[in-house]
Amino acid sequence: MAKVLVIGGCGRIGTAIARDVLAHTDAEVIITGRNPQSVAAAVERLDAKAQSQILDIGNQTQLQAAIAPVDIVVHAAGPFHYRDTSVLQSCIQQGVNYIDVSDERSFTQKALALHQDAEAAGVTAIVNTGVFPGISNSMVRKGVEAFDPLPDSIQLSYIVAGSGGAGVTVMRTTFIGLQRPFEAWLDGQWQMVKPYSDRETLTFPPPYGPSPVYWYDMPEATTLQQTFPVNSVITKFGIVPDFYNHATWSMAHWLPSAVLQNRNTVEFLAQVSHWMTDITDRFSGTGVAMRCDVKGQHEGQSAHYMSSFVHESAAVAAGLGTGGVVELLLSGELQQPGVYPPEQALPTELFMTAMTSRDLRIQEAMTLPDIKV
């Protein structure tokens, strides 16, 4: 029987991944955590179908021993701003396939730098799986494939209702992402952009409708530019209800950089936000909506491809996105030694198969000057 190790399996996203793998494969799932009580609670949420293991990923001896007997490692222990690539390196050394839910640019670049090592070891490593990044990357690939020649621009826009059901770790990630300007690929060159700037209102699927989004640093801003030679890649993010956007904008623009970059400040803001969303989640829900806009020339005409995705829980959607990749690796349908983001490793046909088997739907349309299809 195949074995899947979910590092960080006690968190809400880790538990969602474990639940999806258990539902769609026959693999034995082992979830890990540092706290015995948290691990026991996670196993209980999974109706005791998963195995458990106490693991501190900072302990190399423990880490290597945990990885050695398994077939796939899923790294879900964020925030990835504070992680190195030791888990991936251990997988490469032991010939074990690897998946993560990383959502941070510098971590992604460090992981991609290990491509040749993974390729030589015959290890398939897919980074940035989940919902965004993850499903969103494959939505872009599907859109780009609708163009001939390649399009000019890509924009990914995300909104999350309240906490997204993902817990305090995601709150930490949000505030870490506000700490400093970042590079964006615009008009064929890298330009510095202020996080949570340039508010734009876009229409998302029900129940959200018109909702504001802002510039936000995401790893797919880099990987999509490397994968598809377009002129611009834009990534934007927003929160429902809107007063959270105004509060987040204030943090990004009013707090001194030194204060915002202090880990104690991040932890304080994350805990306060988590407490607030515990209240507002009751009426806002914890869903996620994504929109992919690809623009360029198609058959000699200006064209605009737009696709969208919505789910009632951001955490569950992340679990479904990652679980789909695990299933494809276990079945042998996906085998591509090296380190890749989803849009490079996952063919659209396999992506859509995984989506369909999970009752997930992407709405899409291509608009031409006088034709809508």
> Is pLDDT of 262 > 90?
no
pLDDT band of 373, cuts 50, 70, 90: very low
Q: Which tens digits make up the pLDDT trace of 332-366?
A: 999 999 999 999 999 999 999 999 999 999 999 98
Q: Which amino acid, one-letter code, is at 317?
A: A
User: Residue 370 above 60 pLDDT?
Assistant: no
Distance in angstroms (rounded) separating the CA atoms of residues 362 and 275: 32
Q: Which of 314, 327, 341 is nearest to 160 (CA)?
A: 314
Q: How far is CA 226 from CA 134, 153, 222, 291, 341, in A?
A: 16, 13, 6, 21, 10
Alpha-carbon distance values, 60 to 56, 86, 91 (Å): 8, 8, 12
Which pair of structure tokens corresponds to residue 311? 């789910």
Mean pLDDT of 9-22: 94
Q: Which residue has the higher pLDDT, 165 or 273?
A: 273
- Residue with tokens 């734009």, as numbered in its chain: 200
Per-residue pLDDT tens for 116-165?
A: 999 999 999 999 999 999 999 999 999 999 998 889 999 999 999 988 87
pLDDT digits (tens, 9 = 90+) for 67-115: 999 999 999 998 898 899 999 999 999 999 999 999 999 999 999 999 9
pTM: 0.94
pLDDT of amino acid 369: 62
What are the C-alpha distances in Å from 213 to residues 137, 235, 239, 242, 308? 18, 9, 8, 10, 15
Q: Rounded to an integer, what distance in angstroms lies between the CA atom of residue 15 and that of residue 296?
A: 40
Can you identify the CATH homologous superfamily of domain 132-311? Dihydrodipicolinate Reductase; domain 2 (3.30.360.10)
Chain mean pLDDT for the chain:
92
Biggest CA–CA distance in the chain, Å, is 63
Residue 198 has pLDDT above 50, yes or no: yes
Q: Domain ranges in the chain?
A: 3-129+318-357, 132-311
CATH of region 3-129+318-357, choose from 3.40.50.1000, 3.40.50.720, 3.90.330.10, 3.40.50.300: 3.40.50.720
Q: What CA–CA distances, in Å, run from 146 to 162, 297, 370? A: 34, 10, 17
Residue 293: pLDDT band (50, 70, 90) is very high
355 vs 370: CA distance, rounded Å: 31
Tell me which residue has tokens 């992407």.
362
Q: CB within 8 A of 44, min separation 6: which ones?
A: none
Q: Where does the pLDDT of residue 323 fall: very low under 50, low under 70, confident under 90, or very high at 90 and above?
A: very high
Q: Mean pLDDT over residues 197-217, rounded?
A: 97
